[in-house]
Amino acid sequence: MVRVSRVLPGSISDEMGVVAGTELLTVNGRPLADFLDWEFLTAEDELVIEARLPDGQEIVYELERPEGEVLGVELEPPTVRRCANKCEFCFIEGLPQGLRKPLYMRDDDYRLSFAYGNFATLSNVKERDIARILEYRLSPLYVSVHATPHEARKVLLNNPRVPDIVAQLTRLAAGGIQFHCQMVVVPGMNDGDVLEASLRDLWALGDAVLSVALVPVGLTQFSHLYTGKPMDAVNAGLILDAVERWEERALAERGDRWVFGSDELYLLSERPLPNAEHYGDFSQIENGVGAVAALRARVSEGLDELPRLEGKRIGVVTGVSMGALMPELIDKLTERTGASFELLIMENSLFGPTTTTAGLLVGADIRRALAGRHDLDLALIPAETINDDGLFLDDERFVALRETLPMPVFPSYDFIDVLALEGEPHLSGHAA
Ligand code: SF4
């Protein structure tokens, strides 16, 4: 059963009398377990839908859907599948206590992998899940592989019952499913030979593996399970060497790069970051692969949209890892706008100095950077620090924090999104 949370006014469902709270039971005789069933079973043109209205009345809708028209219901979010692993490097295990509850939820859900690109290990999928993935063609899936040698993977995921990932991927690939894979690389555990064997196994799956991202282990000062070594410049360089070897082969044999190192690896090893062309369709940008290149490209493309801002003093808050890359972007912005920019590079006060990503800065860091700065006309903060509910990771509310600061503060993804509007008199100097 799935429950309706909202009915779009004027939609087919609205006309049928479906209301919020209606339980949708079956479609063409097949029971509904979640949004995937609803999505795929209602793709037919002729539908018989059994439902229970909020007053308990059971009803059967028979309809022929006009071509291209949507049914117009939104469903309550599914119960997310929990992770059965206990990875030493799990970022969630590295969260401090006392944060809001949803942050501690370790999801590992192939349905969210298909629907939203969340990475899943597939270690909790059952036979019926495999059957659904194949029947509904849930492709591409985003898979946390970490290692393909089975024993190494058991250790990495800290779970003796993990299924053999190569067997799983092989079976799904035979049914036409494709994958974007990631490996979080932990020095001494899945670098070196394990990394090489894993890339070999994934390569052997042919076109089914669309891309592989190698991401360095990310620890906070609270990563209490972790017993390994932190990632350093030497290890990061060795991983990038493997990336280069495999991308050379992939380019020669398949015409695309196939394997990518995350931005963090380039920053750690102090190697120059590739440009935007390197990343093709940026299929793993959410994983920190190509984010810097995308930002650079966006700034270059958007410079012409910027107005002159002479006399303005603009603060730019960022994390330690982006701090080193910002000056080249700031120089371009200065040249184009005439404004004076000040870079405010902040250490992460919640997760500790090993967490250097700008997007993980918390409200307290923004306050520390900007409180008392009456000399600034406006400030930009990383938009990724705020979730859809307007909260920072430390539960500070952006709108409340903004009120306490002496200048207008704008969350920004790429400078252009905010500065292009600064020339417009009705927006200038007003927080969004
Ligand atoms: S798979 Fe590992 S890293 Fe991912 S949520 Fe589970 S324990 Fe954490």
Query: Measured in angstroms, how far is the CA atom of residue 246 from the centroid of ligand 1?
Result: 26
Residue among 80, 81, 83 to mutate when testing ligand 1 (max atoms within 8 A of CB): 83
Pick from 89-98, 288-297, 303-312, 357-366: least confident: 89-98
Residue nearest to atom 8 of ligand 1 (CA): 90
Q: Is 18 exposed, middle or buried (0-12, 13-18, 19+ CB in 10 A)?
A: buried
**pLDDT tens-digit profile of 237-248?**
999 999 999 999
Please state the φ and ψ torsions of residue 365, each to the nearest 5 degrees. Answer: -70, -40
Average pLDDT over residues 159-174: 97
Measured from the Cα of 184, ligand 1's closest atom is 3
Q: The dihedral of CA 363, 365, 368, 372: what is its sign?
A: negative
Ligand 1 atom 5 nearest Cα: 106
| Ligand 1 atom at minimum distance from 144 CA | 1
Residues with CB under 6 A from ligand 1: 83, 85-87, 90, 92, 106, 108, 121, 144, 157
89 contacts 223 by C-beta, under 8 angstroms: yes
Mean pLDDT of 412-417: 96
Counting residues of the chain whose pLDDT is more than 90, the rounded percentage is 87
* Mean pLDDT of the 117-142 span: 97
User: Does the pLDDT of residue 221 top 90, yes or no?
Assistant: no
**pLDDT band for position 423 (50/70/90)?**
low
Mean pLDDT of 133-144: 98
Per DSSP, the three-state class of 2 is strand
pLDDT for 231: 87
Radius of gyration from C-alpha coordinates of the chain: 24
Distance 315 CA to ligand 1 centre (A): 36
Q: What DSSP line would sit under 196-246, residue for residue?
A: HHHHHHHHHTGGGEEEEEEEE----TT-TT--SPPP-HHHHHHHHHHHHHH
- Give residue for tokens 């999505």: 39
Q: Residue 431 — pLDDT band, cuts 50, 70, 90?
A: very low
Whole-angstrom Cα distance, residue 5 to residue 8?
10
**Dihedral pair phi/psi, residue 303, rounded to 5°:** -55, -40
Instruction: Give the integer Cα–Cα distance in Å for 60 and 100.
Output: 41
**What's the whole-number mean pLDDT along residues 5-26?**
95
Ligand 1 atom closest to residue 86's alpha carbon, by position in its atom list: 7
Task: State the virtual CA torsion across 131, 137, 143, 149 in degrees, nearest 10.
Answer: 50
Whole-number Å distance, alpha carbon 86 to ligand 1 midpoint, is 6
Of 90, 143, 190, the residue with max ligand 1 atoms within 8 A of its CB, to mutate for a pocket test, comes to 90
Q: Token pair of 59, please?
A: 């009803």
Q: 106: CA distance to ligand 1 center in Å?
A: 6
Mean pLDDT of 23-51: 95
Measured by CA distance, the residue closest to atom 3 of ligand 1 is 90
- Answer for the pair 343, 317: CB distance below 8 angstroms, yes or no: no
Dihedral sign (CA 196, 198, 204, 209): negative
Determine contact, residues 125/83, Cβ cutoff 8 Å: no
The atom number, within ligand 1, closest to the CA of 92 reads: 8
Q: Going by CA atoms, what residue is nearest to atom 1 of ligand 1? A: 85
* Residue 122 reports pLDDT greater than 60: yes
Write the pLDDT tens digit of every residue in 255-268: 999 999 999 999 99
Q: Residue 173: pLDDT above 80?
A: yes
**Element holding 59 (H helix, E strand):** strand 58-64
* Mean per-residue pLDDT of the chain: 94
Per-residue pLDDT of 272-318, as tens digits, reads 999 999 999 999 999 999 999 999 999 999 999 999 999 999 999 99
Residue 412's pLDDT is 97
180 and 283 in contact (C-beta within 8 Å)?
yes
User: How close is the Cα of 84 to the center of ligand 1, in Å?
Assistant: 8
Cα 119 to middle of ligand 1, angstroms? 10
pLDDT digits (tens, 9 = 90+) for 51-86: 999 999 999 999 998 888 889 999 999 899 999 999
What is the arithmetic mean of pLDDT over 326-348?
96
Over residues 126-143, the mean pLDDT reads 97
Which residue's CA lies nearest to atom 4 of ligand 1?
Answer: 90
Q: Which is the closest atom of ligand 1 to the Cα of 121?
A: 1
- Cα of 148 vs centre of ligand 1, distance in Å, is 16
Q: What is the pLDDT confidence band of residue 223, given thresholds at 50, 70 and 90?
A: confident
Judge whether residue 432 has pLDDT over 60. no
CB 138 within 8 A of CB 67: no
What is the C-alpha to C-alpha distance for residues 326 and 312, in angstroms, rounded to an integer? 19
**Which amino acid makes up residue 89?**
F
| CA pair distance 202, 290, nearest whole angstrom | 21
* Residue 235: band (very low, low, confident or very high) from pLDDT cuts 50, 70, 90: very high
Cβ contacts of 383 within 8 Å, gap of 6 or more:
411, 412, 413, 417
Q: In whole angstroms, what is the distance from residue 259 CA to residue 297 CA? A: 21
Give the integer Cα–Cα distance in Å for 96 and 202.
Answer: 35
Report the half-sphere exposure of 208 (CA within 13 A, side-chain side). Answer: 20
Q: Model confidence at 424, in pLDDT bands (50, 70, 90)?
A: low
pLDDT of residue 67: 81
Question: Which of 89, 103, 121 is the best mutation target for the ligand 1 pocket, counting ligand atoms within 8 Å of the beta carbon and taking the most?
Answer: 121
CA 119 to ligand 1: nearest atom: 4
